């Protein structure tokens, strides 16, 4: 009896014409620089009618089939893929301009010799994430502020529709040609009032970008102070990252005494909070050191105190987080980042607003 | 005559109030063990595993940045070091990354604020700058309760008690359950004499009955108020529970030992003091040094003095009792910088500088700084007057002694006050008035049956007389007094007398040793 290796259909889409006028051009090799998923592959595709180029994300079931217990894994993968598709469709239907656009979706049926179908999503083509755009040796305030404005708007658009992103990090901020930056990868999102794959988790995204309350296992039970607060923190963390290439959680951890950090702390979050405020203070000082425009450093430093407040109940703009109906809203930050960007551009042009 | 806290005065285990950073470094803010909750170790994150995979596949700046961030957050030492090392040497990595990488690879302490403060000339300027900086920080980060506490401490150092209290109240409001805030808050109210409030702040902390650092403060403050804490039993239970490290228990054991000592139970007290010295902080060592005058053979070995950080108070007293006046004064200066709002180091420092070392300028300086945070402290005002008189600054001495509210003094203080007044009259040339004041001082001490104080008043009276007019007879009397006072722990007088003889160039035939 001989054994043969089954071909992986998710790797064989190149050259195929899909049912919906899309032609698969080529497989995008796993970027040696990128953190690609283990259960999907990417392709360049082209619309045969309009000539539009796009990006195809194909779900790869093959590893799941080889698992010792394949059924639950296949179920899980299908559920996650379906969920991401649903969220992207919702964003498309609501015309969320700063979220990567879902153009189409479908499934390549199992072909002869295999039993594995390949579901796929066709997404707006991005030129890569912001790592490809940023030159770390020469900080551009204008580029950084544009990115921050786009992320803020993207998050606000999501929040306005009951969606929390949960995984805002540099590799999920995408560069789209001739357009503002967009937020991608909604696979870890959570929907307000709905059952979602990661809804029961305190935090579903990349832990290294998570807010401190996540690490201290002190996440609120209230959706806004759990999910929106987390996104707000990650927006603040993005400010620090763009100037230092370190996220706020990493910088704060470096300023927290070892006995107080989440690895060693055994008491309540309330008790450790005063030490986290000290760490925040020092982290903001550290950040400001690397912003050569002092006026801008002050403005962004102030935003950091608001967005990265270690207490999620105090996080966000003072005008929305205090008072009777306190909540976290990023709406004001859209205006703030826009204003800071315009001020900066005017300043570099030698002009001033009256 | 100058005075200090005599060895027979009761000392209590009151929390130290230092800068936040040294307090952390001393381990006084470590979490206490909690049986219900374990430390929050993160499970292995799939994102982190993927980043390690990417890093191993391609050592690029992007992969290093991603893995460095992740490794710092998730405590992966191995990859923190390997990525930091890569980023430090990579041409493509940014300035902040290189700086962080450097900090990771070569950690060092760059805080020189303590050394800066040792320069008393610049003390005011440094404190002023620190206040300004903290105010700016609090404008941006008003929820930072630790900064409010730091600001309160600085206000207290420069004598702005009301401003300090406002800051303390904000901090307590923001973080009532934090040990540092509760202990420093209670220390503040102890400083201003409001013991009830001091204990209330401690009790408001949710962990009060399970945190030995809070219970020890409560027991110490109650004892300072001449009362016995209601929580001694709970304190004993914590000690017996074996749930806490010797370091976590050291102040509690010391406070309980002091209670036992005050109750006359020397045996129990000795046992508890010795247990407190297994892994003590400076406060427990200082308490044991104090108790050593009442209990023999405590485990106070040189090793303790060498390895316990910030042990300035205990060292100062230890040097003093060993007649090492210079090192005693240096340690007192360090103690003063460590606890600048406390009158104790300023009192002891001004006493040693003036009465023992005869460094009057130094005595004046430290007394003046001490008076900033406790402007009405009798002992400091008296020591300052004495230092001015010995330095022949008569006008300043008159202005200083005028600030003492003579009517509110107790008999003990009055003995010192009258003796200092006597010296003032002598310096003013009013010998008769001087003699009367000295005699009143001696008589008052006699009436209160304080033999030591009476002899001290007589000793200083004779010194004033001899300085005015050299008299062999008086020198012999002084020598006699020195011998009488030596067994009463007044060990410095022989040196004072020797200095005087040297100054007067007394005949060598004088039979004084």
B44 vs A: CB within 8 A: no
What is the Cα–Cα distance from A213 to A219, expressed in whole angstroms?
6
Contacts of B63 in chain A (CB under 8 A): 33
What count of CB pairs under 8 Å joins A to B?
A: 169
Residues 145-164 of chain B whose Cβ lies under 8 A from any Cβ of chain A: 145-147
* Greatest Cα pair distance in chain B: 96
Residue in A208, A266, A277 closest to B38 by CB: A266
pLDDT for the residue B209:
94
What is the Cα–Cα distance from A211 to A228, expressed in whole angstroms?
11
Q: Are residues A55 and A87 in the same domain?
A: yes
With the CA atoms of A273, A277, A280 and A282 taken in that order, what torsion angle do they form, in degrees rounded to the nearest 10? -130
Contacts of A280 in chain B (CB under 8 A): 141, 144
What is the Cα–Cα distance from A234 to A222, expressed in whole angstroms?
18
Last residue of a domain, one of A105, A124, A143: A124
Q: Name the residue of chain B whose CA is nearest to A301's CA.
A: B140
Query: How is A241-302 classified by DSSP, letter by letter?
Result: HHHHSS-HHHHHHHHS-GGGSTTT--S-HHHHHHHHHHHHHHHHHHHHHT-S-HHHHHHHHH
* B74 C-beta neighbours (distance < 10 Å), count: 25
Query: Using the beta-carbon criterion (under 8 Å), do A274 and B146 form an inter-chain contact?
Result: yes
Q: What is the residue-level pLDDT of chain A in tens, covering all 354 positions?
A: 444 466 778 888 888 898 778 999 999 887 544 444 567 888 999 999 999 999 999 988 877 777 788 888 888 888 999 999 999 999 999 999 999 999 999 988 877 767 788 899 999 999 889 998 888 888 899 999 999 999 999 999 999 999 999 999 999 999 998 899 999 999 999 999 999 999 999 998 999 999 999 999 999 999 999 999 999 999 999 999 999 999 999 999 999 998 899 988 988 999 999 999 999 999 999 999 999 999 999 999 999 999 999 999 999 999 998 877 889 999 999 999 999 999 999 888 876 554
Q: Are residues A75 and A184 in the same domain?
A: no
Q: With a cut of 90, say whether residue B388 has pLDDT above it.
A: yes
Q: Name the residue of chain B whose CA is nearest to A32's CA.
A: B58
What is the Cα–Cα distance from B120 to A313, expressed in whole angstroms?
44
Contacts of B173 in chain A (CB under 8 A): none
Please report the ipTM that was assigned to this predicted complex. 0.92
Domain that holds residue A159: 128-353
B80 vs A: CB within 8 A: no
B141 vs A: CB within 8 A: yes
Q: How far is B140 from chain A (nearest CA, A)?
A: 6
Residue in A245, A263, A270 closest to B39 by CB: A263
Q: Are residues A102 and A162 in the same domain?
A: no
* CATH value at residue A118: 3.30.200.20
Q: Are residues A305 and A202 in the same domain?
A: yes
Query: Using the beta-carbon criterion (under 8 Å), do A35 and B50 form an inter-chain contact?
Result: yes
Q: How far is B205 from chain A (nearest CA, A)?
A: 10
Query: Using the beta-carbon criterion (under 8 Å), do B70 and A253 form an inter-chain contact?
Result: no
Q: Name the residue of chain B whose CA is nearest to A249's CA.
A: B73
What is the Cα–Cα distance from A10 to A25, expressed in whole angstroms?
14
B18 vs A: CB within 8 A: no
Q: Which residues of A297-328 are buried (b: 16+ CB within 10 A; e: fewer)?
A: bebbbebbbbbbbbbbebbbbeebbeeeeeeb
Q: Name the residue of chain B whose CA is nearest to A306's CA.
A: B141
What is the Cα–Cα distance from B126 to B129, expressed in whole angstroms?
5
Contacts of B58 in chain A (CB under 8 A): 32-33
Q: What is the pTM of this model?
A: 0.81
Report the run of H or E that residue A120 belongs to, with start and end.
Answer: strand A118-124
A208 vs B: CB within 8 A: yes
Q: How far is B195 from chain A (nearest CA, A)?
A: 24
B63 vs A: CB within 8 A: yes
B184 or B341, greater pLDDT: B184
Cα angle value B318/B352/B393 (rounded, 5°):
175
Q: How far is B257 from chain A (nearest CA, A)?
A: 28
Last residue of a domain, one of A124, A149, A172: A124
The phi-psi region of residue B297 (left if phi > 0; otherwise alpha if psi is between -120 and 50; otherwise beta) is: left
B73 vs A: CB within 8 A: yes
Residues 207-246 of chain B whose Cβ lies under 8 A from any Cβ of chain A: 207
B66 vs A: CB within 8 A: yes
Beta bridge partners, B386, equal none
Comparing C-alpha atoms, which of B164, B175, B217 is closest to residue B341? B164
Q: How far is B117 from chain A (nearest CA, A)?
A: 22
Contacts of B150 in chain A (CB under 8 A): none
Q: How far is A242 from chain B (nearest CA, A)?
A: 11
pLDDT for the residue A4:
47
Q: Which of A234, A245, A270, A288 to mutate to test binding with chain B, by most B CBs within 10 Å of its CB?
A: A245
Give the phi and the psi of residue A247 in degrees, each rounded to 5: -85, 165
A264 vs B: CB within 8 A: yes
pLDDT for the residue B396:
93
Contacts of A263 in chain B (CB under 8 A): 39-42, 75
Q: Are residues A172 and A99 in the same domain?
A: no
Q: Name the residue of chain B whose CA is nearest to A258's CA.
A: B30
pLDDT for the residue B416:
92
* CATH value at residue A211: 1.10.510.10
pLDDT for the residue B79:
93
Q: Coil, strand, or helix at residue A174?
A: strand
Query: Using the beta-carbon criterion (under 8 Å), do A274 and B181 form an inter-chain contact?
Result: yes
Q: How far is A149 from chain B (nearest CA, A)?
A: 22
Residue in A35, A136, A271 closest to B92 by CB: A136
Q: Are residues A205 and A317 in the same domain?
A: yes
* Per-residue model confidence as pLDDT tens digits over B398-416: 999 999 998 888 888 999 9
| Residue ranges in B429-505 assigned as alpha helix (H) | 431-447, 451-468, 472-485, 493-504
Last residue of a domain, one of A69, A96, A124: A124
What is the Cα–Cα distance from B122 to B327, expressed in whole angstroms?
22
With the CA atoms of B49, B53, B59 and B64 taken in that order, what torsion angle do they form, in degrees rounded to the nearest 10? -10
pLDDT for the residue B454:
87
B449 vs A: CB within 8 A: no
Q: Are residues A164 and A114 in the same domain?
A: no
* Per-residue model confidence as pLDDT tens digits over B475-508: 778 788 777 777 776 777 778 777 777 777 755 5
Q: Are residues A95 and A132 in the same domain?
A: no
Instruction: Provide the token pair at B13.
Output: 């285990």
Q: Name the residue of chain A whose CA is nearest to B172's CA.
A: A274
Q: Please, which contacts does B229-232 make with residues 24 or more away whose CB atoms are closer than 8 Å?
A: B229/B199, B229/B259, B232/B256, B232/B259
Q: Are residues A166 and A49 in the same domain?
A: no
Q: Summarize the confidence of residues B124-139 as an average pLDDT.
A: 88
A135 vs B: CB within 8 A: no
What is the average pLDDT value for chain B, to the nearest integer?
Answer: 86
Residues B255, B261, B267, B268, CA torsion sign: negative
Cα angle value B38/B43/B44 (rounded, 5°):
150
Given a contact cutoff of 8 angstroms between Cβ atoms, the answer to whether A191 and A162 are in contact is yes
Query: Using the beta-carbon criterion (under 8 Å), do A265 and B145 form an inter-chain contact?
Result: no
Q: With a cut of 50, say whether residue B229 has pLDDT above it.
A: yes
Residue A251 neighbours by CB under 8 Å, 6+ apart: A240, A244, A283, A286, A287
What is the Cα–Cα distance from B163 to B341, expressed in whole angstroms?
14
Query: Using the beta-carbon criterion (under 8 Å), do A271 and B179 form an inter-chain contact?
Result: yes
**Band of residue B7 on the pLDDT scale cut at 50, 70, 90:** very low
Q: How far is B141 from chain A (nearest CA, A)?
A: 6
What is the Cα–Cα distance from B194 to B151, expressed in whole angstroms?
20
Q: Coil, strand, or helix at residue A22?
A: strand
Q: Give, as one character, the DSSP assignment of residue B295.
A: S
Given a contact cutoff of 8 angstroms between Cβ atoms, the answer to whether B157 and B151 are in contact is no
* Per-residue model confidence as pLDDT tens digits over B31-80: 887 655 555 555 678 899 999 999 998 999 999 999 999 999 999 999 99
Strands A40-47 and A102-108: unpaired
Residue in A208, A217, A268 closest to B48 by CB: A208
Report the run of H or E that residue B235 belongs to, with start and end.
Answer: helix B232-241
Number of domains in chain A: 2
CA atoms within 13 A on the CB side of A24: 25
Contacts of A204 in chain B (CB under 8 A): none
Q: Name the residue of chain B whose CA is nearest to A257's CA.
A: B24
pLDDT for the residue A35:
42
Q: Are residues A174 and A103 in the same domain?
A: no
Comparing C-alpha atoms, which of A153, A161, A218 is closest to residue A180? A153
Q: Are residues A87 and A142 in the same domain?
A: no
Contacts of B30 in chain A (CB under 8 A): 259
Q: Are residues A158 and A265 in the same domain?
A: yes
B184 vs A: CB within 8 A: no
Q: With a cut of 70, say whether residue B254 has pLDDT above it.
A: yes
* Per-residue model confidence as pLDDT tens digits over B89-121: 988 888 899 999 998 888 765 555 545 555 666
Query: Using the beta-carbon criterion (under 8 Å), do A35 and B51 form an inter-chain contact?
Result: yes
Residue in A34, A249, A305 closest to B141 by CB: A305
């Amino acid at each position: 009896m001989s054994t043969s290796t089954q071909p992986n259909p998710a790797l064989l889409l190149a050259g195929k014409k899909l049912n919906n006028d899309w032609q698969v051009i080529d497989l995008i090799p796993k970027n040696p620089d990128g953190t690609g998923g283990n259960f999907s592959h990417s392709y360049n595709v082209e619309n045969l009618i309009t000539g539009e180029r796009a990006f195809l994300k194909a779900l790869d079931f093959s590893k799941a089939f080889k698992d010792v217990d394949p059924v639950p894994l296949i179920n899980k993968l299908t559920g996650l893929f379906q969920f991401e598709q649903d969220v992207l469709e919702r964003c498309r239907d609501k015309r969320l301009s700063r979220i990567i656009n879902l153009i189409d979706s479908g499934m390549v049926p199992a072909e002869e010799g295999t039993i594995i179908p390949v579901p796929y999503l066709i997404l707006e083509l991005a030129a890569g994430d912001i790592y490809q755009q940023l030159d770390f040796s020469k900080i551009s305030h204008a580029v950084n502020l544009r990115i921050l404005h786009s992320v803020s708007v993207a998050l606000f658009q999501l929040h306005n529709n009951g969606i929390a992103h949960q995984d805002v990090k540099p590799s999920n901020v995408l560069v789209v040609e001739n357009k503002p930056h967009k937020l991608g990868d909604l696979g870890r999102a959570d929907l307000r009032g709905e059952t979602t794959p990661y809804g029961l988790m305190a935090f579903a995204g990349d832990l290294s970008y998570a807010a401190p309350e996540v690490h201290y296992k002190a996440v609120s039970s209230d959706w806004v102070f759990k999910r929106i607060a987390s996104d707000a923190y990650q927006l603040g963390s993005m400010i620090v990252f763009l100037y230092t290439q370190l996220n706020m959680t990493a910088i704060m951890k470096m300023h927290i005494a070892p006995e107080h950090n989440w690895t060693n702390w055994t008491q309540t979050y309330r008790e450790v909070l005063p030490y986290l405020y000290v760490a925040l203070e020092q982290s903001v000082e550290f950040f400001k050191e690397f912003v050569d425009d002092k006026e801008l450093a002050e403005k962004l430093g102030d935003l950091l105190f608001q967005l990265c407040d270690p207490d999620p109940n105090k996080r966000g703009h003072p005008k929305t987080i205090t008072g009777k109906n306190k909540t976290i809203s990023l709406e004001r930050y859209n205006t703030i980042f826009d204003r800071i960007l315009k001020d900066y551009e005017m300043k570099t042009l030698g002009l001033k607003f009256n | 005559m100058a005075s200090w806290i005599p060895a027979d005065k009761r000392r209590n285990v009151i929390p130290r109030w230092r800068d936040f950073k040294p307090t952390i470094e001393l381990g006084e803010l470590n979490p206490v063990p909690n049986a219900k909750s374990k430390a929050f170790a993160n499970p292995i994150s799939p994102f982190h595993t993927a980043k390690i995979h990417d890093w191993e596949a391609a050592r690029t700046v992007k992969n290093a940045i991603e893995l460095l961030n992740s490794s710092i957050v998730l405590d992966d030492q191995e990859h923190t070091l390997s990525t930091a090392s890569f980023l430090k040497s990579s041409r493509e990595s940014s300035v902040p990354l290189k700086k962080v990488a450097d900090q990771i690879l070569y950690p060092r302490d760059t805080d020189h604020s303590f050394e800066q403060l040792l320069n008393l000339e610049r003390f005011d300027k440094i404190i002023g700058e620190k206040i300004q900086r903290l105010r700016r920080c609090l404008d941006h980060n008003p929820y930072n309760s630790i900064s409010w506490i730091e600001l309160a401490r600085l206000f207290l150092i420069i004598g702005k008690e009301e401003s300090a209290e406002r800051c303390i109240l904000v901090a307590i409001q923001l973080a009532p359950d934090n040990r540092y805030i509760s202990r420093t808050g209670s220390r503040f109210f102890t400083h201003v004499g409001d013991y009830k409030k001091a204990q209330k702040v401690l009790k408001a902390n949710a962990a009060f009955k399970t945190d030995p650092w809070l219970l020890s403060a409560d027991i110490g403050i109650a004892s300072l108020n001449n009362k016995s804490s209601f929580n001694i039993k709970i304190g004993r239970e914590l000690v017996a529970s074996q749930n806490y490290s010797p370091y976590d228990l050291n102040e509690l054991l010391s406070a309980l030992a002091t209670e036992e000592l005050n109750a006359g139970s020397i045996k129990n007290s000795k046992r508890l003091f010795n247990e407190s010295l297994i892994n003590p902080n400076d406060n427990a060592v200082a308490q044991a040094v104090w108790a050593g005058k009442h209990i023999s053979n405590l485990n106070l070995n040189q090793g303790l003095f060498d390895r316990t950080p910030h042990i300035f108070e205990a060292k100062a007293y230890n040097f003093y009792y060993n007649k090492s006046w210079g090192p005693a004064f240096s340690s007192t200066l360090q103690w003063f910088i460590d606890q600048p709002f406390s009158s104790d180091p300023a009192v002891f420092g001004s006493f040693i500088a003036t009465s023992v070392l005869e460094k009057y300028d130094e005595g004046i300086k430290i007394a003046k700084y001490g008076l900033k945070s406790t402007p009405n402290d009798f002992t400091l005002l008296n020591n300052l007057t004495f230092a001015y008189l010995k330095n022949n600054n008569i006008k300043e001495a008159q202005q200083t002694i005028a600030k003492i509210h003579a009517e509110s003094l107790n008999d003990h203080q009055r003995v010192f006050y009258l003796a200092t007044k006597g010296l003032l009259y002598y310096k003013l040339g009013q010998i008769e008035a001087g003699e009367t004041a000295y005699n009143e001082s001696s008589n008052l001490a006699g009436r209160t049956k304080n033999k030591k104080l009476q002899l001290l008043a007589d000793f200083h009276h004779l010194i004033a007389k001899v300085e005015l007019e050299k008299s062999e007879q008086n020198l012999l009397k002084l020598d006699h007094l020195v011998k009488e006072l030596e067994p009463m722990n007044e060990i410095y007088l022989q040196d004072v007398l020797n200095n005087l003889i040297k100054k007067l160039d007394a005949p060598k035939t004088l039979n004084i040793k």
